[in-house]
Amino acid sequence: MFRHVLKYGLLSLLRTKEIIFWTLAFPFALTTFMYLAFGNLFETTEQFHVVPVAVVQEGENEIFAQMLRLVSEEGEDQLLEIHETTREKAEEMLLAGEVKGILTAGAEPALQVAESGMDQTLLQMILDQFVQYQKTISDVVQVHPEKIMQAVSALTSQAEYVEEKSSTESNQDNVINYFYAVLAMVCLFASFAGCDRILKIQANVSALGQRRNMIPVHKLKSILADFAACEIVQYSIVILLLVYMKFVLRLELGNDLPQILVLLFLGTSYGIMIGIFVGSLPQLGEGAKMGVLVSVSLALSAMSDLMISGIKDSIEHSVPLINDINPAALITDSFYALNIYETDERFWGNMICLGAGVVVLTLVSYFMVRRSQYASL
């Protein structure tokens, strides 16, 4: 009987056009639109390059000159390409885009730029660093003048203005977070299928429910059969979306395939059980239940950075408990953990939270459906 209910559930879900649209067609269309909207962000990576800068001499400052020589020496560590010129020529070069800024060398060095950007930020960092070094040297001169040469040598030897550093072997692209959120949304949209199936076993909702209540099948077994049918369909859909993202759009979703498969399985299971739970609520009609699921799914997905990046981090700093119980946030955070952290401790912690949520929702839904049946008798 279990296999009969499972088979019927599969056929019923595949014939429900609304569910197929929201869980299959809509996510694929949304993913494609987002990929096109972000354009060539996936194809270009901003690489560090030597920054051309004009230098105008308006006074003697040997320390500043020494620093400029240090950061403009040819080699792997070269930061600046120096063009010593007059003020008028430097301004012409700046307006023409030939240099990114003008450094004025003198008693009080200054920076002039025409726009903001990474190159201009680098120039400002160099200038700020020099001002800090100059103050340190001035303090040394006043307190221990005999140690001035040691101070200059120590400061110039550690002049590292740009350091590319990663805590792991992977790079995290913030844009990818949106696609993590899409996968989380698809997992939550599995709730539509779960709600549809649980409504089919409620005698007070449909004639089919009345007939199914006449079948001598344990209520928990019936719920599990419908859950398995939903899981087969929804898990297949989210795997198809994963394949589309990874191999067609070539998005960097990570290489830990076994963990990703476990994550998506628990994610779809959580979504299905949310649908079964809401569908088991006796106070709401069928339309109201679907409305609740749409609202909840979109709200939880929005809080996991689907619409605006940074919302999840803001919640983490203000009310972290929300992220701990939000399945969409747990799913996106698990993708993040796989790509950022060297250990899987955080990932498996999220898996425990998702699994616990599935178990709790299953038990609560079972007792609600069971009590509803007894009341109807």
Dist. CA 349–CA 110, nearest whole Å: 51
| Residue 272 is assigned to a structural domain of this protein | yes
pLDDT tens by residue, 342-373 = 788 999 999 999 999 999 999 998 888 776 64
Q: Report residue 164 CA to chain centroid gap.
A: 21
Taking the chain, what is the end-to-end CA distance rounded to the nearest angstrom? 23
Query: Residues 56, 24: one domain?
Result: no
Range 39-48 average pLDDT: 53
Assess whether 109 and 254 both reside in one domain: no
Per-residue pLDDT, 86? 92
Range of the domain at 149: 51-157
Are residues 38 and 124 located together in one domain of the fold? Answer: no
- The DSSP string of 63-113 is HHHHHHHHHHSSSTT--EEEEE--HHHHHHHHHHTSSS-EEEESSS-EEE-
What is the pLDDT, as a whole number, of residue 205?
A: 64
The rounded distance, in Å, linking the Cα atoms of 187 and 206 is 27
- Name residue, tokens 């105008």: 56
Question: Same structural domain for residues 25 and 95?
Answer: no
Max mean pLDDT among 98-102, 137-141, 165-169 falls in: 98-102
Does residue 144 sit in the same domain as residue 255?
no
Does residue 132 have a pLDDT over 80?
Answer: no
Instruction: Tell me the backbone φ, ψ of residue 72, rounded to 5 degrees.
Output: -110, 5
- pLDDT at position 142 over 80: no
The verdict on 190 and 261 lying in the same domain is yes
Residue at 163 is within a domain: no
- Whether residue 111 is contained in a domain is answered as yes
Q: Of the candidates 127, 157, 187, which is a domain's last residue?
A: 157
Q: Are residues 205 and 86 in the same domain?
A: no
Three-state SS at 172: coil
Quickly tell me which residue has 């038990």 as its tokens. Answer: 363
Higher pLDDT, residue 74 or 304? 304
For residues 123 and 38, state if they share a domain.
no
Measured in whole angstroms, the distance separating CA 32 from the mean position of its chain's CA atoms is: 17
**pLDDT confidence of residue 337:** 87
Closest CA to 112 of 104, 359, 361: 104
9 and 35 share one domain: yes
Q: What average pLDDT does range 258-275 have in this prediction? A: 96
When the pLDDT of each residue in the chain is averaged and rounded to a whole number, the result is: 82
In-domain check, residue 169 = no
Question: What's the whole-model pTM score?
Answer: 0.65
Boundary-marking domain end, from 90, 124, 157 = 157
Q: Is residue 35 part of a domain?
A: yes
Per-residue pLDDT band for 62 (boundaries 50, 70, 90) equals: confident
Number of domains composing the chain: 2
Distance (Å, rounded) from C-alpha 100 to C-alpha 79? 12
Mean pLDDT of 264-286: 92
Residue 232, pLDDT above cutoff 90: yes
pLDDT of 271 above 80: yes
Q: Are residues 30 and 68 in the same domain?
A: no
User: Structure tokens of 230?
Assistant: 């939903």
Residue 261 within a domain: yes
pLDDT: is 146 or 126 the higher one? 126
Task: Choose the weakest-confidence range: 24-28, 72-76, 302-306.
Answer: 72-76
Q: At what angle do helices 26-38 and 219-243 cross, to 10 degrees?
A: 30
Q: Which tens digits make up the pLDDT trace of 192-210?
A: 999 988 888 776 666 666 6
Lowest mean pLDDT across 63-77, 137-151, 313-327: 137-151
The pair of three-digit structure tokens given for residue 203, joined into one six-digit string: 């005698």
Q: For residue 172, what pLDDT band results from cuts at 50, 70 and 90? A: very low
Quote the CA–CA distance of 34 and 241 in Å, as a whole number: 14
Q: pLDDT tens digit string along 153-168?
A: 555 554 444 444 444 4
Q: Please determine, for residue 46, whether its predicted confidence score (pLDDT) is greater than 60.
A: no
In terms of C-beta density within 10 A (0-12 exposed, 13-18 middle, 19 or more buried), how is residue 6 classed? middle
- CATH number of domain containing 134: 3.40.190
Query: Residue 229 has what pLDDT?
Result: 93
Please give the average per-residue pLDDT across 40-61, as a whole number: 72
Residue 101 and residue 309: Cα distance in Å, rounded? Answer: 32
Which of residues 222 and 139 earns the better pLDDT score?
222
State yes or no: pLDDT of 303 exceeds 90. Answer: yes
Residues with Cβ within 8 Å of 205's Cβ and at least 6 positions away in sequence, in order, are 199, 286
pLDDT band at 145 (very low <50, low <70, confident <90, very high): low
- Give domain status of residue 367, yes or no: yes
Question: Which two structure tokens, joined as six digits, stand for 264?
Answer: 């998506």
Q: 157, 187, 204: which is the final residue of a domain? A: 157
Instruction: Quote the pLDDT of residue 334.
Output: 94
Give the least confident one: 6-10, 116-120, 291-295.
116-120
Confidence of residue 226 (pLDDT cuts 50, 70, 90): confident
Q: Same domain, yes or no, for 293 and 185?
A: yes
**pLDDT value of position 351:** 97
Give 275's contacts (C-beta < 8 A, 6+ positions apart): 190, 191, 192, 193, 194, 195, 196, 197, 198, 230, 293
User: Is residue 271 included in any domain, yes or no?
Assistant: yes
CB 197 within 8 Å of CB 278: no
pLDDT of amino acid 201? 77
Residues 19 and 76 occupy one common structural domain? no
